[in-house]
């Protein structure tokens, strides 16, 4: 045994234990795998006591890469480590840890791996008998990650709402648009729904991927897969609703429970669970029919506007700022009144230096129902002096199901105005804004695209946006499970051997982009969080748009190459939860959406980042798949109902004996769970005694 001594000055140093080991290893081994751009540097998290430390760091050779609240990320030359350790104001140093290039980071953090192995359980849970549905774009229908151990596709059906070459899907006597493919031969002949994306291949692989050798498999690797795919330009709420209907119908026809992953969202709606697609979720979800939605990726963006106005001409102005600071303003602003109170609006251009109003469009109130307002640089010569492009406006009273005492006439609709714009400043320094005015007291609340923020630019009388309330409108339905994201990786290595450092990622902490509520009913969103920064999964072989230089090493099977890549977002965290729900449905196929949501929230991990963080962003906390499964076993199944007939009788003794004697399908995990009557993770004579005791009570 060799004792490696740290420098004497480090006796009470701020290094983490793992960091000390890494430095010691370098001393006697000469090399160590550290996620760094340069072998002569360490990458580190450095917790600092105050900002005065930053100046001392700048005077050293240590390079600060990113600053966060209370800590920084930095590149530390090996020879500068002594200086850093001894520096006043440095309270903790954690060197970057090497993480394996696979989804076992998500499975590890979410406690999924033990469920797959059957560790401390009566059986393993992998989603067998459950349908995992995915509605997305860029799905490689025959990727190796979606095949079983024999190379056969686990994709049981494909619905393409914008395709006309297959069979017309008929659901509930009505023909859905597009085509469906439901035989192995038909599915084997398909390639992809979209040649410019890989998003759907990634989410499907995360939820239900099954290629084991490289470790990049999903949470429910034995579930059946049904997908609805379309080009990104065709992702709309109508196609999505049709896709849900098709997938749930397929599950019903095959008498299987189903969970559908939808890693998509929008902020255009009322954010209160009443938009058309939210109502579609409500109508189609139910026992054994679960929808999982991503929360959105706007958690760092001031896209939510809120302002209380007193009426009598009370006015508020907000400016539109390009996300990247450029001159273009592109996107939409969706603004809602509190009830039916009208808000008028106009376009303004302000000289940022002088504060002078240099342009104002007419004030627009309620337009005739068959008209919109169009502002263009081609027709408005004054507007054209400052901006080129156009802005289009419309408004309407739209249905709302929120109780509102101000609606004394019984009409529950809300006033909604909507600006769409694509305008570019001819010169910098002229701010494009929207000005709203009301005659009756109301609260204005609205959202914009992430490409364009609500901003004040320092003007005291202007109102900017906030990320509070950035939750996707789709995730505000009470019938869905909404999922935020946290970080599980600091860096990764691409197929060229280059290390990519994720400077805004602190493993275990909330992802900076993860959207959150509350929604407009005051309900906390999301429901929970799962790993979403950064995850590795399948890529689309037919993707012609993405830069493959940063992808991972391909898997080669029978001389065919199957790509993988890294992606970030609540799009990635949602399918981790989707796969977990599939495992829950494997045990109890009758779980309702509300039961699933409550179980997931109740069993969440609540560690230090959750406890000390913003409760609104975390929801229930971090997904704990093992705890959720245990909860399903002990709290949703009728103890002793071995044969699953909703009664505990002598027939269950016979069923238990059949299972003990091997006269039962060995892959029927749910039956094995029901047979463990005394919850000791074994099936033996003690379970018969426990069962008899229940019957004789």
The residues spanned by each domain of the chain are 8-95, 104-298+474-592, 304-466, 637-696
pLDDT of residue 398: 80
CB 662 within 8 A of CB 638: no
Is the pLDDT at 129 greater than 50? The verdict is yes
pLDDT of residue 72: 66
Instruction: Give burial (CB, 10 Å; 0-12/13-18/19+) of 70.
Output: exposed
Q: 101-105, 340-344, 628-632, 648-652: lowest mean pLDDT where? A: 101-105
pLDDT of residue 69: 54
Q: What phi and psi values does residue 535 have, to the nearest 5 degrees? A: -120, 145
For residues 157 and 83, give the distance between their C-alpha atoms in angstroms, rounded to a whole number: 61
CA distances from 51 to 7, 15, 77, 90, 251 (A): 27, 19, 21, 11, 57
Q: Which CATH architecture has domain 304-466?
A: Sandwich (2.60)
pLDDT of residue 105: 66
For residues 655 and 675, give the distance between their C-alpha atoms in angstroms, rounded to a whole number: 8
What is the DSSP secondary structure assignment for residue 678, as one 8-state letter?
A: T
pLDDT of residue 399: 67
Instruction: Give burial (CB, 10 Å; 0-12/13-18/19+) of 51.
Output: exposed
For residues 445 and 629, give the distance between their C-alpha atoms in angstroms, rounded to a whole number: 40
pLDDT band with cut points at 50, 70 and 90 for residue 307: very high
The H or E element spanning position 415 is: strand 414-425
Q: What phi and psi values does residue 87 have, to the nearest 5 degrees? A: -75, 130
CA distances from 164 to 8, 180, 230, 628 (A): 74, 9, 12, 42
CA distances from 248 to 119, 293, 605, 668 (A): 32, 16, 31, 22
> How many C-beta atoms surround the C-beta of residue 446 within 10 A?
28
Triad 210, 212, 216: Cα angle to 5°:
80
- Beta-bridge partners for 530: 485
Closest CA relative to residue 281, chosen from 474, 132, 483: 474
pLDDT band with cut points at 50, 70 and 90 for residue 292: very high
pLDDT band with cut points at 50, 70 and 90 for residue 400: low
DSSP 365-385: -SPPTT--EEEETTT-HHHHH
For residues 170 and 229, give the distance between their C-alpha atoms in angstroms, rounded to a whole number: 17
**Bigger pLDDT: 415 or 357?**
357
Is the pLDDT at 99 greater than 70? The verdict is no
Is the pLDDT at 609 greater than 80? The verdict is yes
> How many C-beta atoms surround the C-beta of residue 613 within 10 A?
16
Is the pLDDT at 624 greater than 50? The verdict is yes
SS3 content of the chain, % helix, strand, coil (to 5): 25, 30, 45
- Give yes or no on whether 304-466 and 637-696 have one common fold: no
pLDDT (mean) for 154-158: 97
3-state secondary structure of 240: helix
Instruction: Give burial (CB, 10 Å; 0-12/13-18/19+) of 483.
Output: buried
Strand 258-262 with 155-160, pairing:
unpaired
pLDDT of residue 3: 40
pLDDT of residue 5: 45
Q: 14-18, 210-214, 221-225, 286-290: lowest mean pLDDT where? A: 14-18
Is the pLDDT at 435 greater than 90? The verdict is yes
Closest CA relative to residue 257, chosen from 641, 620, 631, 632: 632
For residues 501 and 505, give the distance between their C-alpha atoms in angstroms, rounded to a whole number: 9
pLDDT (mean) for 165-188: 92
pLDDT band with cut points at 50, 70 and 90 for residue 507: confident
For residues 651 and 312, give the distance between their C-alpha atoms in angstroms, rounded to a whole number: 75
3-state secondary structure of 478: coil
| 162-186 burial code (b ≥16 CB/10 A, e <16) | ebeebeebebeeeebebbbbbeeee
**Bigger pLDDT: 70 or 141?**
141
pLDDT band with cut points at 50, 70 and 90 for residue 114: confident
Q: May I ask the CATH class of domain 104-298+474-592?
A: alpha beta
3-state secondary structure of 10: helix
pLDDT (mean) for 357-375: 88
**Rama region for 348: left / alpha / beta (φ>0; ψ in -120 to 50; rest):** beta
CB 247 within 8 A of CB 278: no
Q: 66-80, 388-402, 585-599: lowest mean pLDDT where? A: 66-80
pLDDT (mean) for 586-607: 96
The listed CATH number (3.40.190, 3.30.70, 3.40.50, 3.30.160) that belongs to domain 8-95:
3.30.70
pLDDT band with cut points at 50, 70 and 90 for residue 232: confident
For residues 667 and 654, give the distance between their C-alpha atoms in angstroms, rounded to a whole number: 19
177-186: list long-range contacts, CB under 8 Å, 24+ apart: 177/242, 178/242, 180/246, 181/157, 182/156, 182/157, 182/158, 182/250, 184/152, 184/153, 186/158
The H or E element spanning position 595 is: helix 593-602
Average pLDDT, the chain: 86
pLDDT (mean) for 57-75: 69
Q: Please give the span between the terminal C-alpha atoms of the chain, in angstroms, as a whole number.
A: 62
Instruction: Give burial (CB, 10 Å; 0-12/13-18/19+) of 668.
Output: middle
Is the pLDDT at 664 greater than 90? The verdict is no
3-state secondary structure of 597: helix
Q: Enter the pTM of the model.
A: 0.83
Residue percentage of the chain with pLDDT more than 90: 56
The listed CATH number (3.90.550, 3.40.50, 1.20.950, 1.10.1330) that belongs to domain 637-696:
1.10.1330
Which residues, in sequence order, are CB contacts of 594 under 8 Å at separation 6+?
Answer: 478
For residues 217 and 535, give the distance between their C-alpha atoms in angstroms, rounded to a whole number: 11
For residues 129 and 14, give the distance between their C-alpha atoms in angstroms, rounded to a whole number: 51
């Amino acid at each position: 045994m060799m004792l490696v001594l740290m420098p004497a000055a480090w006796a009470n140093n701020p290094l983490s234990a793992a960091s000390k080991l890494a430095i010691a290893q370098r001393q006697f081994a000469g090399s160590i795998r550290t996620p760094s751009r340069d072998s002569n540097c360490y990458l580190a998290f450095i917790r600092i006591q105050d900002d005065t430390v930053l100046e001392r760091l700048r005077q050293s050779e240590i390079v600060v890469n990113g600053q966060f609240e209370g800590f920084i990320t930095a590149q530390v030359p090996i020879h500068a480590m002594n200086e850093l350790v001894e520096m006043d104001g440095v309270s903790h140093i954690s060197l970057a840890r090497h993480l394996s290039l696979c989804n076992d980071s998500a499975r590890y953090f979410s406690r999924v791996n033990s469920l797959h192995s059957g560790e401390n359980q009566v059986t393993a849970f992998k989603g067998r008998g459950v349908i995992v549905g995915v509605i997305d774009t860029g799905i490689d229908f025959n990727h190796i990650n979606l095949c079983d151990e024999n190379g056969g596709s686990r994709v049981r059906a494909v619905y393409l709402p914008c395709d006309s070459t297959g069979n017309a899907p008929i659901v509930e006597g009505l023909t859905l648009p597009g085509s469906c493919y439901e035989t192995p031969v038909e599915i084997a002949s398909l390639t992809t729904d979209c040649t410019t994306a890989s998003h759907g291949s990634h989410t499907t692989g995360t939820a239900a991927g099954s290629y084991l050798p490289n470790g990049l498999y999903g949470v429910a690797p034995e579930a059946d897969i049904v997908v609805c795919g379309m080009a990104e330009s065709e992702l709309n709420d109508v196609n999505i609703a049709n896709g849900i209907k098709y997938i749930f119908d397929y599950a019903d026809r095959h008498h299987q429970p189903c969970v559908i992953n939808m890693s998509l969202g929008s902020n255009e709606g009322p954010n209160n669970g009443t938009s058309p697609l939210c109502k579609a979720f409500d109508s189609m979800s139910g026992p054994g029919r679960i929808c999982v939605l991503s929360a959105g990726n706007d958690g760092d963006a001031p896209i939510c506007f809120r302002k209380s106005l007193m009426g009598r001409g009370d006015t508020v102005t907000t400016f539109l700022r390009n996300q990247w600071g450029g001159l273009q303003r592109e996107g939409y602003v969706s603004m809602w009144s509190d009830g039916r109170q009208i808000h008028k609006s106009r376009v303004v251009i302000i000289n940022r230096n002088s504060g002078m109003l240099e342009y104002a469009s007419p004030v627009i109130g309620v337009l005739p129902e068959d008209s919109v307002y169009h502002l263009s640089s081609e027709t408005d010569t004054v507007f054209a002096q400052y901006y080129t492009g156009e802005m289009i406006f419309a408004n309407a009273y739209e249905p709302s199901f929120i109780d509102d005492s101000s609606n004394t006439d019984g009409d529950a609709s809300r006033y909604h105005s909507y600006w769409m714009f694509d305008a570019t400043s001819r010169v910098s320094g002229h701010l494009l804004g929207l000005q709203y005015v009301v005659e009756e007291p109301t609260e204005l609340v609205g959202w914009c695209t992430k490409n364009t923020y609500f901003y004040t630019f320092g003007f005291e009388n202007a109102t900017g946006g906030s990320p509070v309330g950035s939750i996707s409108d789709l995730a505000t339905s009470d019938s869905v499970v909404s999922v935020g994201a946290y970080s599980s990786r600091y860096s990764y290595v691409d197929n060229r051997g280059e290390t990519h450092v994720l400077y805004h990622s602190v493993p275990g902490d909330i992802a900076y982009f993860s959207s959150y509520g509350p929604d407009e009913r005051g309900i906390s969103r999301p429901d929970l969080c799962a790993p979403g920064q950064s995850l590795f999964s399948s890529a689309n072989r037919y993707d012609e748009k993405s830069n493959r230089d940063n992808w991972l090493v391909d898997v080669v099977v029978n001389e065919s190459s199957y790509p993988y890549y890294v992606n970030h977002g609540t799009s990635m965290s949602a399918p981790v939860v989707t796969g977990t729900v599939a495992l829950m449905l494997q045990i109890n196929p009758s779980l309702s959406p509300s039961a699933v949501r409550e179980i997931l929230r109740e069993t969440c991990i609540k560690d230090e980042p959750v406890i000390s963080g913003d409760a609104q962003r975390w929801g229930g906390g971090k997904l704990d798949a093992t705890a959720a499964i245990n909860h399903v076993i002990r709290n949703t199944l009728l103890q002793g109902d071995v044969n699953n007939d909703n009664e505990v009788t002598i027939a269950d003794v016979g069923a238990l004996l059949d299972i003990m004697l091997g006269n039962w399908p060995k892959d029927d995990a749910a039956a094995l769970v029901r047979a463990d009557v005394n919850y000791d993770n074994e099936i033996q004579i003690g379970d018969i005694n426990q069962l008899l005791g229940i019957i004789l009570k």
